[in-house]
A and B are shown apart, each in its own frame.
Chain A
Amino acid sequence: MKLKTALLATALGGVAFGATAAEVTVMSWGGAYTKSQVEAYHKPFTAETGIAVNSVDSDNPATPIKAQVEAGNVTVDVADVEFSDAVRLCDEGLLEEIDQSMLPAAPDGTPASEDFIEGALQDCAVANIVWSTVFAYNKDNNPTAPDSIDDFFNTADFPGKRGLRKSAKATLEMALMGDGVPADEVYDLLETDEGVDRAFAKLDTIKDDIVWWEAGAQPPQLLADGEVVMSTAYNGRIFNAAIAENQPLEVVWDGQILDFDLFVVPKGAPNKEAAMQFISFSTDTQRLADQASWISYGPARKSSGAMVGKYSDGKTDMAPHMPTAEANLSNALVNNFEFWVDRDAELNERFNAWLAQ
């Protein structure tokens, strides 16, 4: 009897402990990017609040959280998603609204609503970084260095396989830019059937040379292995492979596509309070600046910009590696979230049909 009581007490205690132990589950994109968040956000957050942070990864967190909310089985508290996905999920009522007044002001007192760059604060989402899709190449495998987006599609002068993300987003825009369309006309053209046809026609010219990737960690690997000579990639991943792992990789900024990553809280998140606390903590000026010392993504707060210094090795200047650096913006496209909210399904369907042909 005594034993039974003791066992029961332990079991109950365990349950109670499980319920009260503060924790928050954060879903991100894996690899060097998740590492930068663990270093800049998770560790200091746990140190300050005592709330443990579980880090889980996905190739694109927007899809599992939508599936989780629709199935009524939410295990993630905070997810890191792209701009168009944040807006779409919010429209569909799948996200908790985020009270922007809880976000801390900048050190000089500028309120958060003015400190974040335009578009970074949404009803259901708070941006943490500005990142970009660029193409990169392996210096060892390219006798002449490609320097424009045209070169990516020029297999005559730059022979070899190309890595591309297996998704319509960014791929179609790059195809048009590679076909000579100026960045500011890309989305107007993609709205039309002719524009979409033109993008696919451009992709047709290199279709046999494409290796498709899905996870952000793949392109640096494909480039380093020599499986491809050039690949589209998230700029921070290439930076980390080049600087931290000394791979002979180089980013080409021409034709880059800028986008936000934003924190969202799925509806029905098990630890909503802690999730909000985490977001408020992680997107303050210091934390965003800290993250930039782990990976070359631009902070979403203006006040963080000045605090960005050197990479965590202590000698590499981060500024020239940022997608928002002046020199890198000469031919840059800002991702049009409204376009993708609307056309994601249609263009991906067409993209799949094209892939299968």
Chain B
Amino acid sequence: MATLTDDSAFGADDRLTTADGKPLKAALARAEARAKRRAFFLVLPLFLFVLITFIVPIGQMLHRSVHNSGFTLHTDIGSKVQTPIMVNLRDWFDNNPRGTEPDEAAFEALAADLVVLREVKAAGQAGTRINYELSGTRSMFTKAARKAPKLEAPFAAAILDLDEDWADPELWAAMRDASSAYTMNFYLAAVDLTRDTDGFVAQVDEKRRLYKQLFVRTLLLSLLITGLTFVLAYPIAHMLATLPLRYSNLLMILVLLPFWTSLLVRTTSWMVLLQSQGVVNDALVGTGVLADDSRIQMMYNQTGTIIAMTHILLPFMVLPLYSVMRTINPSYVRAAKSLGATSWTAFRRIYFPLTVPGIGAGALLVFILAVGYYITPALVGGADGQLISNLIAFHMQKSLNWSLAAALAGLLLGGILILYWLYDRLIGIDNLKLG
């Protein structure tokens, strides 16, 4: 449509115009814009899909990790009516700096707020929020709210009469922290830290430390599993890539068959094989290798997690390796050998560097999958084979502390992004070949 006419092409003002006299540049830009718009509309469904099912939920989750309105806002489940709660107490906190001894005004504010809690039935919710920071306080709120309408001045004495723990400075510090919906406390909790009464960050009691250790364990196990899959997959992939096609296709099916089998079936098969009354132990006992009372514990511990996850994630290493090795021209290695290289040198200097993109892709796939793996460790991990994802699931499904679950997941996400960045810096992400 932007055909040029002879005279316009060499017009007096030297400007290129189209047949209808418009400047060529503008016409081209318009045509391109139209093409771009069309392309945009084509990808729009996918874009919306990713936005709605991926980016928005992740954003919501990350928001939840720093935002918990349990102590600030009550939403009635039936009518969706929202009531701000603990407003009087928040005023008192705003007007009195941290560390102020709660006075009669503070208890009066508390009493007024407890009445509201009772009216809108939010005592459980508010108590649960404070219980996250300081255990054993939940029932103080539910009990006090039940008796709130009968509280009379002097409020300090009346409330302390209900439970003298209401004077606890830790409780007041926790209420102060929770009176703002935005908080970093869940991230602190996710790395075994807490705030003391003065608001300083401190380590939690040694007996409760859990998450840092689990993050480290998750990282180490994932690295170990990535290493194991690499060691197992490299020779297989090499054999598949160098065999004649009719054999390699047959063998490929053996790799893919477990890949196509349900995850649960594979995991439970390992349970049948490895448990202490299982096939492997029975065979060892039957052949006299082991005594009946010294069966090896291979299931419901870390060993079980490592074995089952290595097997399940193996195809993710084999396939990228295979696809890369397939494309390596055998004449390179032959050329190296003809120039006097030993087999080992030819492998080290020629073949191996050519497979690096496949190793990178496979390792990244296996590692990232392993870091977030949930179902297999849950089934075969027992107590010491649990990974951080199992704790996220615990807080999502059992303790229902979704803010803490979100903070743990946020840290996991951040950690993976850092590793991804490191990988990009060290090896280069454009060096990746997935298939």
Residue of A nearest to B74 (CB): A93
Q: How far is the CA of A240 from the CA of B136 in the complex (A)?
A: 38
Cβ-based interface call for B386 (8 A) = yes
Cβ contact of B136, chosen from A93, A207, A212, A343, cutoff 8 A: A343
Cβ-based interface call for A99 (8 A) = no
Question: Across the interface, do A355 and B124 meet the contact criterion of CB distance under 8 Å?
Answer: no
The verdict on A70 contacting B300 (CB below 8 Å), with A342-B136, A346-B131, A355-B386 known, is: no
Q: How large, as a class, is the contact surface on chain A?
A: 35 or more
Interface of A, secondary structure class, is: helix
Mask, A69-84, CB within 8 Å of B = 1, is 1101000000000000
The verdict on A227 contacting B277 (CB below 8 Å), with A93-B77, A354-B207 known, is: yes
Residues on B with beta carbons closer than 8 Å to the beta carbon of A227: 275-277
Cβ contact of A353, chosen from B122, B210, B382, cutoff 8 A: B210
Mask, B125-144, CB within 8 Å of A = 1, is 10110011001111100100
Cβ-based interface call for B76 (8 A) = yes
Residue of A nearest to B401 (CB): A345
Cβ-based interface call for B104 (8 A) = no
The verdict on A93 contacting B121 (CB below 8 Å), with A267-B78, A354-B207, A356-B386 known, is: yes
Residues on A with beta carbons closer than 8 Å to the beta carbon of B386: 355-356
Cβ-based interface call for A268 (8 A) = yes
Question: Across the interface, do B214 and A356 meet the contact criterion of CB distance under 8 Å?
Answer: yes
Q: How far is the CA of A88 from the CA of B128 in the complex (A)?
A: 10
Residue of A nearest to B77 (CB): A267
Q: How large, as a class, is the contact surface on chain B?
A: 35 or more
Cβ contact of B213, chosen from A94, A212, A350, A356, cutoff 8 A: A356
Instruction: With a 10 A CB-CB cut-off, give which of B383, B396, B397 has the most chain A CB atoms.
Output: B383
Instruction: With a 10 A CB-CB cut-off, give which of B132, B135, B398 has the most chain A CB atoms.
Output: B398
Cβ-based interface call for B370 (8 A) = no
Question: Across the interface, do B135 and A345 meet the contact criterion of CB distance under 8 Å?
Answer: yes
Q: Smallest distance from the beta carbon of A102 to chain B beta carbons, Å? A: 20
Cβ < 8 Å to B, chain A residues 172-211: 197, 200, 207, 210-211
Question: Across the interface, do B135 and A212 meet the contact criterion of CB distance under 8 Å?
Answer: no
Q: Smallest distance from the beta carbon of B155 to chain A beta carbons, Å? A: 23
Mask, A46-81, CB within 8 Å of B = 1, is 000000000000001001101101101000000000
Cβ < 8 Å to B, chain A residues 191-242: 197, 200, 207, 210-212, 225-227
Q: How far is the CA of A354 from the CA of B205 in the complex (A)?
A: 12
Cβ-based interface call for A147 (8 A) = no
Q: How far is the CA of A161 from the CA of B382 in the complex (A)?
A: 13
Q: Smallest distance from the beta carbon of B48 to chain A beta carbons, Å? A: 22
Q: How far is the CA of A318 from the CA of B77 in the complex (A)?
A: 43
Cβ-based interface call for A273 (8 A) = no
Cβ-based interface call for A114 (8 A) = no
Residues on A with beta carbons closer than 8 Å to the beta carbon of B300: 211-212
Q: Smallest distance from the beta carbon of A228 to chain B beta carbons, Å? A: 10
Question: Across the interface, do A342 and B398 meet the contact criterion of CB distance under 8 Å?
Answer: no
Question: Across the interface, do B138 and A341 meet the contact criterion of CB distance under 8 Å?
Answer: yes
Q: How far is the CA of A159 from the CA of B391 in the complex (A)?
A: 31
Cβ contact of A225, chosen from B138, B277, B398, B401, cutoff 8 A: B277
Question: Across the interface, do A92 and B131 meet the contact criterion of CB distance under 8 Å?
Answer: no
Cβ < 8 Å to A, chain B residues 99-156: 121-125, 127-128, 131-132, 135-139, 142
Cβ-based interface call for B63 (8 A) = no
Cβ-based interface call for A118 (8 A) = no
Instruction: With a 10 A CB-CB cut-off, give which of A63, A72, A346 has the most chain B CB atoms.
Output: A346
Question: Across the interface, do A93 and B76 meet the contact criterion of CB distance under 8 Å?
Answer: yes
Cβ-based interface call for B290 (8 A) = no
Q: How far is the CA of A200 from the CA of B213 in the complex (A)?
A: 19
Q: Smallest distance from the beta carbon of A215 to chain B beta carbons, Å? A: 12
Residues on B with beta carbons closer than 8 Å to the beta carbon of A70: 400, 402
Q: How far is the CA of A228 from the CA of B367 in the complex (A)?
A: 35
Q: How far is the CA of A212 from the CA of B299 in the complex (A)?
A: 12
Q: How far is the CA of A103 from the CA of B402 in the complex (A)?
A: 37
Cβ-based interface call for B424 (8 A) = no
Residues on A with beta carbons closer than 8 Å to the beta carbon of B214: 356
Cβ-based interface call for B209 (8 A) = yes
Cβ-based interface call for B208 (8 A) = yes
Cβ contact of A356, chosen from B76, B132, B384, cutoff 8 A: B384
Cβ-based interface call for B82 (8 A) = no
Residues on B with beta carbons closer than 8 Å to the beta carbon of A207: 383
Mask, A253-297, CB within 8 Å of B = 1, is 000000000000001100000000000000000000000000000
A/B interface sample: 7 pairs, CB < 8 A: A161-B276, A267-B78, A341-B139, A343-B136, A346-B136, A353-B207, A356-B213
Interface residue ranges, A against B (CB under 8 Å): 60, 63-64, 66-67, 69-70, 72, 88, 90-94, 161, 197, 200, 207, 210-212, 225-227, 267-268, 338, 341-346, 348-350, 352-356
Interface residue ranges, B against A (CB under 8 Å): 76-78, 121-125, 127-128, 131-132, 135-139, 142, 207-210, 213-214, 217, 275-277, 300, 382-384, 386, 391, 394, 396-402
The 4 closest A-B pairs by CB, nearest first: A346-B135, A91-B124, A92-B124, A353-B210
Given A63-B398, A197-B207, A345-B128, 6 additional A-B pairs, CB 8 A: A93-B122, A207-B383, A210-B383, A350-B208, A352-B394, A355-B384
